[in-house]
Amino acid sequence: MWREGEQMAEIKVGKNETLDSALRRFKRATQKAGILSEVRKREHYEKPSVARKKKSEAARKRKTR
């Protein structure tokens, strides 16, 4: 899942930092790194023909806007 040179999202919790704020920072870091979207994308195998069709459909929708 990870390419060479990439790292997982990591945060260091401060001494006086609450768990809620640390969790919020971790969620923000994972979202910024695109980890959750990558996991959802790889959850099920998608045939290349289906991926091309989705990509083409998305481009067509963007163009008509």
- pLDDT (mean) for 27-55: 93
Is pLDDT above 70 for 1? no
Query: How many domains would you assign to the chain?
Result: 1
pLDDT category at 9 given cuts 50, 70, 90 is confident
28: which 2 tokens? Answer: 């923000």
Q: In the chain, which ranges are E strands?
A: none
Residue 4 lies in a domain: no
Q: Residue 53: pLDDT above 90?
A: yes
Position 38 in a domain: yes
Using the structure block, give the residue that is written with the tokens 């996991």: 39
Question: What would the pLDDT profile of 11-25 be if each residue is shown by its tens digit?
Answer: 999 999 999 999 999
Residue 8 inside a domain? The answer is no
C-alpha 14/C-alpha 35 separation (Å) is 23
**Assigned domain for 55 exists:** yes
Confidence bin at 48 (pLDDT 50/70/90): very high
Q: Look up the domain containing 44 and give its range.
A: 19-64
Structural domain includes residue 10: no
Evaluate whether residue 27 is within a structural domain. Answer: yes
> What is the rounded distance in angstroms from the CA atom of residue 44 to the CA atom of residue 30?
20
Amino acid identity of residue 46, one-letter, is E
In a domain, 14, yes or no: no
Left, alpha or beta for 12 (phi > 0: left; psi -120 to 50: alpha)?
beta
